[in-house]
Amino acid sequence: MIEKLRQGPGTWSRPKLSRIENREQGVKRRELDQLLDVYGVGDPALANWLRQLAGDSRRRGWLADVRKHLPPEFHQFLDWETALVACRQFETLLVPGLLQTTEYARALITGLDPGLSADEVERRVMARMARQQILSQPIPPTLHVILGEGALERPVGGERVMRKQLRHLVEATENPNIAIQVLPKTVGASPALEGPFSILTLPDPIPDIGYAEGPGRPDYIESRDEVRAYTLRFGALTEQALTQDESVRRLADSVRELE
């Protein structure tokens, strides 16, 4: 491969190619075109998407800062998240990171790992807030969240923090690209008992990807059959959850209960 690259413009070496492949070094447009040719990427849509990512990299300096404060096993998810077209997410016990307030995130991170230093907590909070920039892009991804009712009743950070967080969720539903449904505890036995998960939709022709957090590390699901099973689970939960209007009223009721 390196021999083929050296036949074109630019300076190529094995260490440079390794750094690019491991996302340790950026790539210029002409270098990317060479790589697409060598790797045999013939699909125009995929090639254009990769060129767009390369062109956006300089404008996304925040991504490098975020990556420094996240575990290495989470880096792949971060790469996908920045390119999202849509995300379907089911959570049972906590508010998803893309919808967390600063105070809620701080209380959650501290509670999950009490041994973290104050500086490390703040770095992780800042990284989480930076990730939320994808929701304010000119063309933001569609976010559909189904939230277990128990998450509304868990006072992360105390009543004041939780009240502000619930208000934030209500306000988030005013955005046309964000839908939040609450899954009542009265549903009983349902696909919810299998735990939280996400379905990530990336630009065509990339197929949907499933994501779940296993014990101690994330689990990326790319098998078509497994992703289809996740999609069916999400569809079932959508039917069992309150409608969005009912969910907004349930969230507003929770805010009032904390006043």
Cβ-based burial of 245 (10 A; exposed 0-12, middle 13-18, buried ≥19): exposed
Nearest 10 degrees: CA dihedral of 101, 105, 111, 112?
140
Write the pLDDT tens digit of every residue in 82-129: 788 999 999 999 999 999 999 999 999 999 999 999 888 888 888 888
Name all domains of the chain by residue range, CATH numbers in brackets. 2-60 (no CATH), 75-257 (3.30.870)
Which position has the token pair 């975020």? 66
Write the pLDDT tens digit of every residue in 217-229: 678 898 999 999 9
Q: In terms of DSSP H, where are the helices of the chain?
A: 2-6, 14-21, 29-39, 44-56, 61-68, 75-82, 102-112, 118-131, 150-153, 159-172, 224-240, 244-257
Predicted structure pTM score: 0.72
Q: Are strands 178-183 and 142-148 parallel, antiparallel or unpaired?
A: parallel
